[in-house]
Structure 1
Amino acid sequence: MKKHSLLALILIAHAGSAMAADPILEPSMASIPAGSFAMGSPTTLAKGDYPVEQPVHQVNIPAFQMSRYEVTVGQFSQFVEATGHTPTLAEGQPPATCWKHAANDWGMEAGAGTWKSNAYPQSPYHPVMCVSWADAKAYTAWLAEKTGKPYRLPSESEWEYAARAGSPHNYHFGADETQLCRYGNIRDTLGRDAIGKLTNKPGAEALCTDGSAFTSIVGMYEPNQFGLYDMIGNLGEIVEDCEHANYTGAPADGSAWTTNCSKDMRMHRGGSFQSRVTATSTGRGHTGATNASSFEGFRVALGMPGPATPAAGTIAFEAGLDKARAAERARR
Structure 2
Amino acid sequence: MGGSLRTTGQLICMALLAAVTCGACTPQAPGTAARNQERGVTSAPAPPAEAGPALPTQAEPERATVEATPLPVWMPSVPELTPEMVDKARRQADAALAQGHLYDSAEAAVPLYLAVLAVKPRDARARRGLDKARQLLRSQAMELMARPDDQRQALAEAAERVSVAIALAPEGKAEQALQAQIQQARRVLALNRAGEAALRRDQLGEAGGGALGSFRAALALAPEDSRALQGIAAVQSGLIRRAELAATRADFDAAAAWLDKAGKVRGGPTLVDAQARIEAMRAAQLAALRDGGLRDLSSPQGLKAAREKLEQALRIAPPGDPTVAILRQRIDLVAHYGSFRPGQVFSDALQGGGRGPQMIVVPHGGFQMGAGDAEPGASDAERPQHYVRFDRGFALSITEVTVAEFGRFVEAAKARPRATRRGHSVVYDERSGNFVRRSGVDWRSDYNGAPAKPGNPVMHVSVRDAEAYAAWLSEQTGRYYRLPSEAEFEYALRAGTSGRYPWGNAGVPPPLSGNFTGSEDVSPSGRHWNNAFVGYGDGFWGAAPTASFQPNGWGLHDMAGNLSEWVADCWHASYRRAPADGAAWYNPGCRQRVIRGGNWANAPEQTRAAWRQSQDSDVTSARIGFRLVRGI
Tell whether the structures are fold-level matches, with TM greater than 0.5: yes
Using the TM superposition, give the Cα deviation of residue 195 of structure 1 relative to its aligned residue in structure 2, in angstroms. 9.0
Aligned residue in 2 for 1:72: 402
Using the TM superposition, give the Cα deviation of residue 103 of structure 1 relative to its aligned residue in structure 2, in angstroms. 8.3
Higher-RCO chain (CA-CA 8 Å, sequence separation at least 6):
1
Aligned residue in 2 for 1:139: 469
Structure 1 unaligned segments of length 5 or more: list them.
1-19, 305-332
Q: Could you list the per-position Cα deviations for residues 20-63 of structure 1 after superposition, in whole angstroms to 9, with x for gaps in the alignment?
A: 9973341111111111110001236467xxx7211100011231
Using the TM superposition, give the Cα deviation of residue 228 of structure 1 relative to its aligned residue in structure 2, in angstroms. 0.3
In 1: Cα distance, 2:443 partner to 2:464 partner: 13
Letter in 2 for 1:139: Y
Are positions 1:239 and 2:567 aligned together?
yes
Question: What TM-score do the two structures reach when normalised by structure 1?
Answer: 0.75
Letter in 1 for 2:594: M
Could you say if the C-alpha distance between residues 191 and 52 of structure 1 is closer, same or farther in structure 2, counting changes exceeding 3 Å?
Answer: farther
Q: Pick from 383, 388, 392: which aligns with 1:59?
A: 388
Could you say if the C-alpha distance between residues 21 and 259 of structure 1 is closer, same or farther in structure 2, counting changes exceeding 3 Å?
Answer: closer
In 1: Cα distance, 2:371 partner to 2:548 partner: 28
In 2: Cα distance, 1:21 partner to 1:136 partner: 20
Are positions 1:95 and 2:422 aligned together?
yes
Aligned residue in 1 for 2:598: 271
Letter in 2 for 1:217: P
Using the TM superposition, give the Cα deviation of residue 260 of structure 1 relative to its aligned residue in structure 2, in angstroms. 8.5
In 1: Cα distance, 2:548 partner to 2:607 partner: 16
Letter in 2 for 1:40: G
Is the CA contact 1:170–1:281 (under 8 Å) kept in the aligned structure 2? yes
Are positions 1:148 and 2:478 aligned together?
yes
Aligned residue in 2 for 1:293: 621
In 2: Cα distance, 1:189 partner to 1:282 partner: 23
1 or 2, which has the higher helix percentage? 2
Using the TM superposition, give the Cα deviation of residue 108 of structure 1 relative to its aligned residue in structure 2, in angstroms. 2.3
In 2: Cα distance, 1:147 partner to 1:94 partner: 27
SS at match of 2:401: coil
Q: How many residues align?
A: 276
Is the CA contact 1:30–1:66 (under 8 Å) kept in the aligned structure 2? yes
In 2: Cα distance, 1:104 partner to 1:285 partner: 27
Is the CA contact 2:445–2:460 (under 8 Å) kept in the aligned structure 1? no
Are positions 1:282 and 2:615 aligned together?
no
In 2: Cα distance, 1:192 partner to 1:251 partner: 42
Using the TM superposition, give the Cα deviation of residue 117 of structure 1 relative to its aligned residue in structure 2, in angstroms. 2.7
1 or 2, which has the higher strand percentage? 1
Pairing of 1:138-177 with structure 2 (within 5 A): 138-177=468-507
Is the CA contact 2:397–2:627 (under 8 Å) kept in the aligned structure 1? yes
Q: Pick from 209, 214, 219: which aligns with 2:537?
A: 209
Using the TM superposition, give the Cα deviation of residue 181 of structure 1 relative to its aligned residue in structure 2, in angstroms. 4.3
Root-mean-square deviation over aligned CA pairs: 2.8
In 1: Cα distance, 2:582 partner to 2:367 partner: 10
In 1: Cα distance, 2:577 partner to 2:525 partner: 38
Is the CA contact 2:518–2:529 (under 8 Å) kept in the aligned structure 1? no
Q: Could you list the per-position Cα deviations for residues 129-169 of structure 1 after superposition, in whole angstroms to 9, with x for gaps in the alignment?
A: 00010000000000000001101000000000011011011
Answer with 1 or 2: which has the greater Rg: 2
In 1: Cα distance, 2:426 partner to 2:468 partner: 20
Taking only the aligned residue pairs, the percentage that are identical comes to 35
Is the CA contact 1:30–1:65 (under 8 Å) kept in the aligned structure 2? yes
Is the CA contact 1:25–1:75 (under 8 Å) kept in the aligned structure 2? no
In 2: Cα distance, 1:150 partner to 1:193 partner: 40
Using the TM superposition, give the Cα deviation of residue 279 of structure 1 relative to its aligned residue in structure 2, in angstroms. 1.8
SS at match of 1:38: strand
In 2: Cα distance, 1:82 partner to 1:32 partner: 30
Is the CA contact 1:192–1:202 (under 8 Å) kept in the aligned structure 2? no
Could you say if the C-alpha distance between residues 194 and 270 of structure 1 is closer, same or farther in structure 2, counting changes exceeding 3 Å?
Answer: farther
Is the CA contact 1:140–1:300 (under 8 Å) kept in the aligned structure 2? yes
Structure 2 unaligned segments of length 5 or more: list them.
1-349
Q: Pick from 97, 107, 118: which aligns with 2:434?
A: 107
Letter in 1 for 2:585: W
Using the TM superposition, give the Cα deviation of residue 288 of structure 1 relative to its aligned residue in structure 2, in angstroms. 1.3
Aligned residue in 1 for 2:515: 185
In 2: Cα distance, 1:211 partner to 1:221 partner: 11
